[in-house]
Amino acid sequence: MKVVFASTPDQEEMIKGLIKTFYQDIFPLYYSDQDIREFEELNVLQQCAQFGTLKEAYQVIASLQTLISILESNELLPKYKSIFQTNTDILKDYGMFFPFDYEQFLEAKQMNNANFSVYTKAANELLI
């Protein structure tokens, strides 16, 4: 008999928060607002189903965190390519659509000069 622990609602919320981080903090560093809108339409990083076990949820969380760490770095180094690929493969194994490879982010970083995006979280809020 094998005992398996189900994923928790907190883990599901954490995954949603990490996906939000991609859209608010990561994608605007590399892509235009139009590109990001297309990612939303294509359901990039959207969950197809809930994760059944703790292990699955933790693997997805760790993969998303690792990708965020790599992509937030000031310089994308070639030594991170294999780590990036391993983590994108994990996401794909769990049904998350992430159609990027490392070179796409390298190219996008070189081409993108704008840091302003409607997707970026506001630094402050105006209260009326």
Q: Where are the alpha helices (DSSP H) in 26-80?
A: 27-30, 33-41, 54-72
* Band of pLDDT at residue 111, cut at 50, 70 and 90: confident
Write down the residue that tokens 């076990």 correspond to: 53
Structure tokens at 38: 């297309």
Assign 2 a pLDDT band (cuts: 50, 70, 90). low
Instruction: Give CA–CA dist 9/14, Å, rounded.
Output: 9
The pLDDT of residue 3 is above 60: no
Q: What is the pTM of this model?
A: 0.81
Q: 27: which residues sit within 8 A by CB, 6+ positions away?
A: 35, 36, 39, 117, 119
Which one is predicted more confidently, 101 or 128? 101
Would the pLDDT of 113 be above 80?
A: no
Is residue 101 over pLDDT 80? yes
